[in-house]
Amino acid sequence: MADTHHSPKAADMKPSDAAEEASDPNFMTSLARGLSVIRAFTEREPNLTIADIAKITGLPRAAARRCLLTLMQLGYAGSDGRTFHLRPKILALGYSFLSSAPLATILDPLIEQVSGAVQESCSAAVLDEDDVVYIARAATKRIMSVGLNVGSRLPAYCTSMGRVLLAALPEAELDSYLARVPLKPFTERTITATDALKRELERVRDRGFSLVDQELELGLRSIAVPISTAAGGVIAAMNVSAQAARVTCPEMEQQFLPQLQRAAQEARVLLVRSRGL
Annotated domain spans of the chain: 10-92, 101-275
CA angle 266, 268, 270 (to 5 degrees): 70
Residues 267/108, Cβ–Cβ less than 8 Å: no
Stated pTM of the model: 0.68
Phi, psi (rounded to 5 degrees) for 3? -60, 125
pLDDT confidence of residue 96: 58
Rounded distance between C-alpha atoms, residue 209 and residue 43, angstroms: 30
pLDDT confidence of residue 22: 53
pLDDT confidence of residue 101: 57
* Burial (CB count <10 Å: 0-12, 13-18, 19+), residue 271: buried
Phi, psi (rounded to 5 degrees) for 122? -130, 140
Helices (H), 74-193: 91-100, 102-118, 160-167, 171-180
Nearest alpha carbon to residue 191 among 223, 238, 159: 159
Residues 49/83, Cβ–Cβ less than 8 Å: yes
Residues 187/179, Cβ–Cβ less than 8 Å: no
pLDDT confidence of residue 275: 56
Rounded distance between C-alpha atoms, residue 23 and residue 196, angstroms: 38
- Tell me whether the CATH fold assigned to 10-92 matches the one assigned to 101-275: no
CATH topology classification for 101-275? Beta-Lactamase (3.30.450)
- For 123-135, letters b (16+ CB in 10 Å) and e give bbbbbeebbbbbb
Can you name the residues that pair with 123 across neighbouring β-strands?
137, 239
Provide CATH code, domain 10-92: 1.10.10.10
pLDDT confidence of residue 9: 38
Tens digit of pLDDT per residue, the chain (277 long)?
A: 333 334 333 334 433 344 445 567 788 888 899 999 998 988 778 899 999 999 999 999 999 999 999 999 999 999 998 999 998 888 777 655 555 457 778 888 999 999 999 999 999 999 988 999 888 888 876 555 556 778 788 999 999 999 999 999 999 999 999 999 999 999 999 999 999 999 999 999 999 999 999 999 999 999 999 998 877 789 999 999 999 999 999 999 999 999 999 999 998 888 777 655 5
pLDDT confidence of residue 48: 94
